[in-house]
Chain A
Amino acid sequence: MSDNRSKVSEMSTEAKDYIRGIYDLNIIRQFQQDHCPEQRLSYLGLTGAEILDVLTWCEYIAKWTSVQMAHTFEGRYCADRIIHNALANNMEREFQLVRGDIDDVVGTSQGQSKPRYWPYQIVNLDYYGGLVHASRDPNLDRPVSKRLEALRGLFHKQAGHPFVLFLTLNLKDKDLGTVAGLVAEEEEDLAGLELEGVTECFHEHRSLRNAGLLKIFVPLFLGEIADQHDLIFSPPVLYRGTRPMIHFAVRCPPYVSHAAGRRLHTKDKIDLINLPLEVLHDRDTGMKEVDLSKITQPNGNR
């Protein structure tokens, strides 16, 4: 295999390398053992030009689809590099490059016809521009998030199949207040119930600004849309890559208890809000948990 891995570490960051090479790799290993023992997996995602994820996880990957927008010069160049690096690393077998918008590819029926290897066991969405990234649709009275709708489409497409979803988000998101508003609604709902620590919990999360808001919002949002899957979250991780980022890793085995699908109950929401939050300082220090108040039930249960 070529020397690309060592070469491109200079272009990635130590923090991201740690998450990719240790944190996520352990999750993938566990997922394979639990759901696809002795099989290699299929990958769909935003690999970036250097295909670092695929190279790091190549031992577990049999097939992979990289999605890259290619309507600009930079995008086309990136697409070329993806192919180059696939060839340079002998990873071109069962490899597909889809040129297009990831939100269209995973979220729309037309886009979903392009990737070849559905269902995918690893979906890696490295959203550089943020998750919500809402835009104004002149026909609607509220902002629209194509990305959030794409995630809905992804879970729908993957219904009945286990997979692991990695979501890496830029903390600077042009969310037009969507996330803050949704979090506030959630707080209001929970505050009206017989629970303890709601206000403190939400206040402390808000003190972390977008990091705290996304830490609450993303699991709740996924919990709402993934009615055909159970969601097993690993603690979200804050880190500084090329920018401040938050990384989510969630295993999604199929939900089989009821044909109508899974519903998000209050207890589930509390569990999701109470997820620990880790901060990755550096490779040597490793991850440390951020001290955040938790919501509890009146008898002290969380």
Chain B
Amino acid sequence: MGWREVAAEWTIKDIGAPLLASLAEGLYDAKEVLREYMQNAVDSYVDFQLLTGKAPRESVRIFIDDDAGDVHVMDDGIGMDRADILRAKSIAVSHKLERQNEFVGFRGIGIWAGLSACQRLVLETTKVDVPCVYRLTIEFGSIRDQVYDPIPIDNLLQGKFRIEERDGHSKDHYTHVRLEDVRKPHYADLLHVKEMSGYVSEFLPVSCDPEWTYTSDIERELADLPEAKTFDIRINGNRVYKKFPPVYKVVAKGERETLLKKPEAHIVRDKTGRVVARAWSCETNRRGQRKAIEVDHDLGEVNSFGVRIKNFQVGKRGFLADPARVADADNLGWYVGEIYITDTDIRPDTNRRAFQRSFRSDEVTAAIQQFYTEIATSSRGWSAEVAVLNTVAQVNETADHVQEMLAAGDQAPTVTKLWKDLNAGRRDLLQARQKANAKDTGEDSARVVAERKYLRKEAVRDAIKVALHRVEAVQKLLQEQSPETVVAAVQESESDGRRRRSKAQTANLKGVRVSPNRGTERVASTGADVETPEQEEDSDLTKRIIETVARAFLAAAAAVLGEDSEAYAEITDRLPVELQRRGLNV
């Protein structure tokens, strides 16, 4: 049963026309079609600089001729000579591979991107120092009509394209692509100036709006970053810029509210410490219930983060912000910023919606998600600061009210309520101060770190200090002027506290219920007594016992919940506070 080899050659005839449909049909939507031609234009400027050493006028002009249903893209890049134009008609054979570290356009299908989008492609080009102009015309419509025929691909394409030349000027260099007779309705967006402008603004490498307050800060920060390079891209003569939400809002004549804080720069590293990206971010400065940055989509404003490779955005805003991997992912809406990938191993996939799989893509993805987590959890710090400052304001307002009331001779039950309000405010401020004063350990969660950072701001500390003094002063005043009412108010406050404590969180420690109530409880595992805060004797022993119990409790919680879990983090954050509330000063 010996096998004998049969002579056979693999030729173009073995590739059927329907393969072309698989390549182009539905690969790109209207905006992505435009992006592909823009990508080519950008690449041509890179090539121009490489070839000539000169920095050309880097302008890409898009002209949407909705009367005729045509879209034009023109650049003054390097252009093409005869060899280039012959290669240009190739499918997925990119001479861009020859460029070192230039992966833009890699695996793109070049001028074929518009195969589904229009009836005809006309590309006119001339290369620097070449006194000849070339024109390539491809009948996309005719190709589509036959793409599902059972014929070899070369039969499909023959006769459906032509290349022409004429004399030109060697000083000229440009490429002008025309997508003729855009297909509607599927690709009608290509003829919509506002839609295309919005897309270009968000996804393509354009500069920040020069009218935006922080543009010069960001440009200064990114000046040395080639991955953040921008181009002058115009649609029907109007330059397109990146749009971000306004920094200020006018609230009254001559007064304005700051909505966005100044930008901060970041370096994103993977677990080994290798730099994978650079980023900038602006945090919300909103202090109300809703802190998320408001964007006007009609104006093309964006929030959250864009992940960019060679300054072309990959995917949508918030790319890679998987809530399963990014803590507080929702809070990314409190920020606006950009992440510029600097790891040269990372490339976009064919339609630029995700990273192409590579041996580095997982590490870089994880690094970005870690960055997101740090950013998002730091938003809790802002939240804590706002909450404290709101409390300070409320306390001051209550104190003002008390002083007015005393001056007017008002008595209880107003006094009772005010006393309770002041106590509640005092308690919250003490908690905040305690958080700020807590010692830093290497194991603090990101949230705790963030809260502490914001609460340690000098302005916040001062505000707390002043407010606490105010509370003390006003409560003293109340005691002097209305002692009976104050006594009643204090008693009522304390009974509320006991009720609150009885409802407080309890924990099971080796099956024994530990109640934070007053009184002594036996803890089976330690055999120690938990003493009430009022008992001053053996306070050191008490403290050691409580610390032991707390450590045992945390060990059990870690075993059950997992040390990396959010619940465990929540417990470690709140346990000291809860103990303090009960007078267990450990």
Contact A3 B74 (CB under 8 A): no
B residues near A80, Cβ cutoff 8 Å: 122, 178
Contact B72 A97 (CB under 8 A): no
Per-position 1/0 for B207-235, Cβ under 8 A of A? 00000000000000000000000000010
Whether B61 sits at the interface, judged by CB under 8 Å, is: yes
Contact A99 B176 (CB under 8 A): no
Binds B, one of A28-36, A82-90, A260-268: A82-90
Contact B67 A98 (CB under 8 A): yes
B residues near A91, Cβ cutoff 8 Å: 237
Q: Which listed residue (A88, A94, A99) contacts B174, Cβ 8 A?
A: A88
Q: Which listed residue (B63, B68, B76, B124) contacts A92, Cβ 8 A?
A: B63
Task: Knowing A83-B65, A87-B63, A98-B67, say if A93 contacts B74 (CB, 8 Å).
Answer: no
Q: Tell me the chain A residues, 69-104 only, with Cβ under 8 Å from chain B.
A: 79-80, 83-84, 86-88, 90-99
Chain B interface size band reads 20 to 34
Whether B236 sits at the interface, judged by CB under 8 Å, is: yes
Whether A7 sits at the interface, judged by CB under 8 Å, is: yes
Whether B495 sits at the interface, judged by CB under 8 Å, is: no
CB nearest neighbor in B for A98: B67
Determine how close the nearest CB of chain B comes to the CB of A54; give it in whole angstroms. Answer: 13
B residues near A98, Cβ cutoff 8 Å: 67
B residues near A96, Cβ cutoff 8 Å: 67
Determine how close the nearest CB of chain B comes to the CB of A11; give it in whole angstroms. Answer: 12
Task: Knowing A92-B236, A93-B236, A95-B237, say if A83 contacts B63 (CB, 8 Å).
Answer: yes
Whether A113 sits at the interface, judged by CB under 8 Å, is: no
Determine how close the nearest CB of chain A comes to the CB of B77; give it in whole angstroms. Answer: 13
Whether B253 sits at the interface, judged by CB under 8 Å, is: no
Contact A83 B72 (CB under 8 A): yes
Q: Tell me the chain B residues, 51-85 only, with Cβ under 8 Å from chain A.
A: 59, 61, 63, 65, 67-68, 72, 74, 76
A residues near B67, Cβ cutoff 8 Å: 96-99
Q: Which listed residue (B171, B178, B237) contacts A3, Cβ 8 A?
A: B171
Q: Tell me the chain A residues, 241-292 only, with Cβ under 8 Å from chain B.
A: none
A residues near B171, Cβ cutoff 8 Å: 3
Task: Knowing A83-B65, A84-B124, say if A93 contacts B174 (CB, 8 Å).
Answer: no
Contact A99 B68 (CB under 8 A): yes
A residues near B76, Cβ cutoff 8 Å: 2
- In angstroms, Cα B59 to Cα A2, docked, is 13
Whether B403 sits at the interface, judged by CB under 8 Å, is: no
Contact B237 A7 (CB under 8 A): no
The number of chain A residues with a CB under 8 A from chain B is: 20
B residues near A88, Cβ cutoff 8 Å: 74, 174, 176
Contact B172 A92 (CB under 8 A): no
Q: Tell me the chain B residues, 471-507 only, with Cβ under 8 Å from chain A.
A: none
Determine how close the nearest CB of chain B comes to the CB of A274; give it in whole angstroms. Answer: 45
B residues near A90, Cβ cutoff 8 Å: 59, 61, 237
Determine how close the nearest CB of chain B comes to the CB of A113; give it in whole angstroms. Answer: 12
- In angstroms, Cα B72 to Cα A97, docked, is 13
Q: Is the interface of B mostly helix, strand, loop or mixed?
A: strand
Contact A92 B237 (CB under 8 A): yes
A residues near B178, Cβ cutoff 8 Å: 80
- In angstroms, Cα B61 to Cα A93, docked, is 10
Whether B238 sits at the interface, judged by CB under 8 Å, is: yes
Whether B249 sits at the interface, judged by CB under 8 Å, is: no
- In angstroms, Cα B236 to Cα A90, docked, is 10
Contact A97 B65 (CB under 8 A): yes
Contact A87 B65 (CB under 8 A): no
A residues near B122, Cβ cutoff 8 Å: 80
- In angstroms, Cα B76 to Cα A96, docked, is 22
Contact A87 B74 (CB under 8 A): yes
Whether B297 sits at the interface, judged by CB under 8 Å, is: no
Task: Knowing A3-B169, A7-B169, say if A87 contacts B176 (CB, 8 Å).
Answer: yes
B residues near A86, Cβ cutoff 8 Å: 63
Per-position 1/0 for B179-217, Cβ under 8 A of A? 000000000000000000000000000000000000000
Contact B176 A93 (CB under 8 A): no
Contact A93 B169 (CB under 8 A): no
Determine how close the nearest CB of chain A comes to the CB of B288; give it in whole angstroms. Answer: 42
CB nearest neighbor in B for A91: B237
- In angstroms, Cα B235 to Cα A94, docked, is 11
CB nearest neighbor in B for A4: B172
B residues near A79, Cβ cutoff 8 Å: 68
Determine how close the nearest CB of chain A comes to the CB of B147; give it in whole angstroms. Answer: 26
Per-position 1/0 for B114-138, Cβ under 8 A of A? 0000000010100000000000000
A residues near B59, Cβ cutoff 8 Å: 90
- In angstroms, Cα B126 to Cα A7, docked, is 15
- In angstroms, Cα B122 to Cα A83, docked, is 13
B residues near A3, Cβ cutoff 8 Å: 169, 171-172
Determine how close the nearest CB of chain B comes to the CB of A6; give it in whole angstroms. Answer: 9
- In angstroms, Cα B63 to Cα A80, docked, is 12
- In angstroms, Cα B72 to Cα A84, docked, is 9
- In angstroms, Cα B61 to Cα A272, docked, is 47
- In angstroms, Cα B193 to Cα A92, docked, is 14
Determine how close the nearest CB of chain A comes to the CB of B182; give it in whole angstroms. Answer: 15
CB nearest neighbor in A for B68: A99
- In angstroms, Cα B178 to Cα A97, docked, is 15
Contact B61 A92 (CB under 8 A): yes
Determine how close the nearest CB of chain B comes to the CB of A104; give it in whole angstroms. Answer: 15
Contact B237 A94 (CB under 8 A): yes
Determine how close the nearest CB of chain B comes to the CB of A85; give it in whole angstroms. Answer: 10
A residues near B169, Cβ cutoff 8 Å: 3, 7
- In angstroms, Cα B70 to Cα A99, docked, is 13
Q: Tell me the chain B residues, 232-257 only, with Cβ under 8 Å from chain A.
A: 234, 236-238
- In angstroms, Cα B172 to Cα A86, docked, is 15
A residues near B124, Cβ cutoff 8 Å: 84
A residues near B65, Cβ cutoff 8 Å: 83, 97
Determine how close the nearest CB of chain B comes to the CB of A234; give it in whole angstroms. Answer: 32
- In angstroms, Cα B237 to Cα A92, docked, is 5
CB nearest neighbor in A for B237: A93
B residues near A93, Cβ cutoff 8 Å: 234, 236-238
CB nearest neighbor in A for B174: A88
Determine how close the nearest CB of chain B comes to the CB of A51; give it in whole angstroms. Answer: 14
Chain A interface residues toward B at CB < 8 A: 2-3, 7, 79-80, 83-84, 86-88, 90-99
Question: Can you offer 20 A-B residue contacts whose CB atoms are under 8 A?
Answer: A2-B76, A3-B171, A7-B169, A79-B68, A80-B178, A83-B72, A84-B124, A84-B176, A86-B63, A87-B61, A87-B74, A92-B61, A92-B234, A92-B236, A94-B237, A95-B236, A95-B237, A96-B67, A99-B67, A99-B68
Known: A83-B72, A92-B63. 20 other contacts (CB 8 A): A2-B174, A3-B169, A3-B171, A7-B169, A83-B65, A84-B176, A87-B61, A87-B72, A87-B74, A87-B176, A88-B176, A90-B61, A92-B61, A92-B237, A93-B234, A93-B236, A93-B238, A95-B237, A96-B67, A97-B68
Q: List the 6 closest A-B pairs by CB distance, nearest first.
A: A93-B237, A87-B74, A92-B237, A92-B63, A87-B61, A3-B171
